Chains A and B, each alone.
Chain A
Amino acid sequence: MILVPCPHCGPRNVSEFRHVGEATARPDPASATPAQWRAYLYLRRNPAGWTTETWYHRAGCRAFFGAERHTVTNQFRRSWSGGEVSPLAGTPAELGGGVDASTAEGAPEP
Chain B
Amino acid sequence: MRPSRYSALDLVRHGLGDRPWPRAWRQHDLAPAYDAVIVGGGVHGLATAYYLAANHGMTNVAVIDKGYIGGGGSGRNTAIIRSNYLTTEGVRFYDRSVKLYESLSAELNFNVMFSQRGHLTLAHNDGSLRTMRWRAEVNKLEGVDSEVIGPEEIKRLVPFMDTSTETRYPILGALYHPPGGTIRHDAVVWGYARGADARGVHIHQGTELVGIETDGDRVVGALTDRGRIATPIVVNCTAGWATLIADMVGVRLPIVTHPLQAAVTEPVKPFLGPVVVSGTLHVYVSQTDRGELVFGASTDAYTSYSMRGSLEFTEELAGHVLELMPSLAKLRVLRQWSGLCDITPDFSPLMGVTPVEGFFVDVGWGTYGFKAGPVAGEAMAALLATGTTPENIAGFDLARFPEGRLVGEKGAAAVGH
Contact = CB atoms under 8 A, between A and B. Distances in A.
Interface of A: 1-2, 13-15, 18-19, 21-22, 34-35, 38-39, 41-48, 71-74
Nearest to B402: A35
Contacts of B402: 35, 38-39
B412 interface: no
Residue of B253, B312, B402 with highest tally of chain A CB at under 10 A = B402
Given A34-B404, A71-B303, A74-B304, A1 B345 contact: no
A56 to B, nearest CB: 11
Nearest to A73: B306
Contacts of B310: 1-2
B305 A72 contact: yes
Interface of B: 241, 243-244, 252-257, 301-306, 310-312, 345, 401-402, 404
Contacts of B401: 38, 42-43
A15 B306 CA distance: 16
Given A41-B345, A42-B345, A22 B312 contact: no
A74 B304 CA distance: 7
Given A38-B401, A38-B404, A72-B305, A44 B254 contact: yes
Contacts of A74: 304, 306
7 contacts: A21-B256, A21-B303, A38-B402, A39-B252, A42-B345, A47-B243, A72-B304
Given A14-B302, A19-B302, A38-B402, A46 B345 contact: no
Contacts of A39: 252, 402
A43 B303 contact: no
Which label, helix, strand, loop or mixed, suits the secondary structure of the B interface? loop
Residue of A41, A42, A46, A73 with highest tally of chain B CB at under 10 A = A46
A46 B255 contact: yes
Contacts of A71: 257, 303-306
Contacts of A13: 312
B244 A22 contact: no
B242 to A, nearest CB: 8
Contact of B254 (A34, A35, A42, A47): A42
Residue of B255, B257, B302, B311 with highest tally of chain A CB at under 10 A = B302
B49 to A, nearest CB: 26
A27 B111 CA distance: 54
A19 B299 CA distance: 12
Contacts of B255: 44, 46
Contacts of B303: 19, 21-22, 46, 71
Nearest to A49: B305
A48 B333 CA distance: 30
A44 B404 contact: no
Which A-B residue pairs are the 3 nearest by beta carbons?
A19-B302, A42-B254, A46-B243
A43 B306 contact: no
A47 B303 CA distance: 10
A47 to B, nearest CB: 8
Nearest to B404: A38
A46 to B, nearest CB: 4
Nearest to A35: B402
Nearest to A75: B306
A42 to B, nearest CB: 4
A1 B311 contact: yes
A66 to B, nearest CB: 15
Residue of A13, A19, A39, A42 with highest tally of chain B CB at under 10 A = A42
